[in-house]
Amino acid sequence: MPRVKRGTKRRAKRKKILDRASGYFLTKSKLHRSAKEAVDRALKFAYSGRKQRKRQFRSLWIVRIGAAAKLSGLSYSQFIHGLKNSGVELDRKILADIAVKDPEAFKSLAEQAKGAIQGAA
């Protein structure tokens, strides 16, 4: 069996880890073992962070919609329920954007939701 020294492959693999760890504190950016642990941990946080970002944005949209709905005399849940009853199929991202940028349009949506709630009752 031929002898394998792995010179370039090993160096490339270590260089990739150390490049990812550049800017880390003390030995975490200089020593391979410490850098590997730090990079693995960072990648784990990055993965979970991508999932958390979606949750955080949804909760931000809900807060914005709820605040704008309060100004129209509705709670968040009443507003969403009224929109579903009236057949408006806008997602929370768009509703939050309308609430911030176009309060008049949001007021008309709130009136539509109120009408749908009173019509169903």
Which tens digit of pLDDT belongs to each residue from 38-52?
999 999 999 999 999
Q: What is the CATH number assigned to the segment(s) 7-120?
A: 1.10.1900.20
Q: Using an 8 Å Cβ cutoff, are 58 and 92 in contact?
A: yes
pTM of the model: 0.81
Instruction: Kindly provide the b/e burial profile for residues 26-61, where b requires at least 16 CB atoms within 10 angstroms of the residue's own CB.
Output: eebbeeeebbbebbeeeeeeeeeeeeeeeeeeeeeb
Which tens digit of pLDDT belongs to each residue from 18-45?
999 999 999 999 999 999 999 999 999 9
Q: Where are the domains of the chain?
A: 7-120
